[in-house]
Amino acid sequence: MREVLDRIGDKWTVLVISTLGDRALRYSDLLASIPGISQRMLTLTLKALERDGLLVRQAYAEMPPRVEYELTDLGRSLQEAVLQLAQWAAGNHGAVASNRALHDRIGVGRAKSAAGGSRPAE
Amino acid sequence: MREVLDRIGDKWTVLVISTLGDRALRYSDLLASIPGISQRMLTLTLKALERDGLLVRQAYAEMPPRVEYELTDLGRSLQEAVLQLAQWAAGNHGAVASNRALHDRIGVGRAKSAAGGSRPAE
DNA sequence: CTGAATCCCATGGGATACTG
DNA sequence: CAGTATCCCATGGGATTCAG
């Protein structure tokens, strides 16, 4: 459990995994598709993922050079689990937001049930 | 997607969520059940989770004081998604470890297939 | 285009001590 | 017991620059 967190706990890892669907993407594609990520973080994240066998790096000796990254079967299996979280987020971030707003407005103590705010969507 | 990560991306949040099963736990229980967490981090994490309606805090005016934390329905729905990850970790951390070992030993470039190392378990 | 290397600062988070 | 407050350092990570 602790191990998965040292792997997933890093947000960039999750973003790369979820961005990399079933298709292979180039370095520059990933850089553009993940808003806010820096070259440094993308490179480090890709290396770590390749090291763990979650994705493979394919370099083509062309001009200009082209490098593609693609999830392995192992990586895709992790992606599925990650997608569960994404779906949860999509379905419940509204409830979370309203709970937060209520909690902040009322102050600590009385935020018991925000009109179904604490009930999951899915 | 980015929002879920600012919530899940923090390892302590995930550990608290997964530790808090269907039962309510006291502050000291959580502190003991989550190896490595500090008082500070536990407190901050609990506050954030309560704020978002993922758990409720129940204080009993006794001596000595007792405070229990329990997941809300919303929190439990998130926990299910988190458990998917935990199961993935349990089933595949071996494959990840062998991939990593192979990658480190061989050096970059040739770690193609570690005897099924890149194939998911579940 | 795909990186590697360096600089440097913000913050995450541990240790410790104090309070209700 | 259940926190809160403070100190303080390690690291995460952005910006920038250089290289193949």
pLDDT in tens, B64-120: 999 999 999 999 999 999 888 889 988 998 999 899 999 988 764 444 444 455 667
Q: Which nucleotide across the nucleic acid strands is nearest to B68, CA versus C1'?
A: D2
Return the bridge partners of B93, or none.
Answer: none
Residue ranges of alpha helices (H) inside chain A are: 2-8, 11-19, 27-33, 39-51, 73-106
- In this complex, which protein residues place their C-beta within 7 A of any atom belonging to strand D? A 10-12, 36-41, 65; B 26-29, 39-40, 43, 46-47, 57, 59, 64-67
The CA distance from B119 to B122, in Å, is 9
pLDDT band at B10 (very low <50, low <70, confident <90, very high): confident
Cβ neighbours of B51 in A, within 8 Å: 99-100, 103-104
Domains present along chain B, CATH in parentheses: 2-114 (1.10.10.10)
DSSP codes joined into one string, B91-106: HHHHHHHHHHHHHHHH
- Which one of B1, B50, B111 has the shortest CB-CB distance to A89? B1
Element (H, E) at A25: strand A25-26
Beta strands across the sheet bearing A25-26: A25-26, A66-71, A55-60
Are B85 and A4 within 8 A, CB to CB? yes
Distance of CA A107 to the CA centre of its chain: 32
Task: Of B38, B32, B5, give the one whose Cα is nearest residue B19.
Answer: B32
The backbone torsions φ and ψ at residue B111, rounded to the nearest 5 degrees and listed phi first, read -80, 75
pLDDT of residue B30: 98
pLDDT of residue A118: 64
Show which positions of strand C are touched by protein (CB under 7 A).
1-6, 13-17, 20
- For residue range B17-74, list pLDDT tens digits in order: 999 999 999 999 999 999 999 999 999 999 999 999 999 999 999 989 999 999 999 9
The CA distance from B54 to B71, in Å, is 6
- Nearest chain B Cα to A119, which residue? B74
Interface test with A, best of B88, B98, B122 (most A CBs within 10 A): B88
Touching check for A99 and chain B: CB below 8 Å?
yes
The CA distance from A42 to A108, in Å, is 39
Are A3 and B89 within 8 A, CB to CB? yes
